[in-house]
Structure 1
Amino acid sequence: MDKGTVISIIAVMIAAANQVLVLFGKSPMLIDSTLIEQVVSAIFTIVTVLHAWLRRKKVNMAKEKKKDKKSKK
């Protein structure tokens, strides 16, 4: 695994842990409003997962492109 993949996995794990904490009412954020806290937490999780997914898609496409170049030689 490359460095970017490890960072993406860690970020997704942090986002998941944050969601679990919010579900149990143990806010890791210093926000008083429950609704705002849940919205911020959900946005953080969605952005993190989308970033990891898009990064993985980009890496797979690069691998396929490299494989195609090798097969053409």
Structure 2
Amino acid sequence: MDKASLSRFTVLIAAVINAVLNLLGYQTISEQFINDVVAVISGVYFIWAGWKNNYLSKKGLQQKDVLKKHKLH
């Protein structure tokens, strides 16, 4: 397992434990904290996706030139 897979699996386990404890009536993680974490993760993801899906970096500009050269863009 690589680090990314391990971290995703760890977060999944924590989320399942939290959900089960909430069903049993235990307040484990506050709603405000969850909302804050979701907002931060969403913001980081949107910035990353915008960076990766646009020709902003040196590598992206080189890719754009290759696409233009082959009339694919």
TM (normalized to structure 2)? 0.44
Structure number with larger C-alpha Rg: 2
Higher relative contact order by CA 8 Å / sep ≥ 6: 1 or 2?
A: 1
Indicate the structure with greater helix content. 1
TM (normalized to structure 1)? 0.44
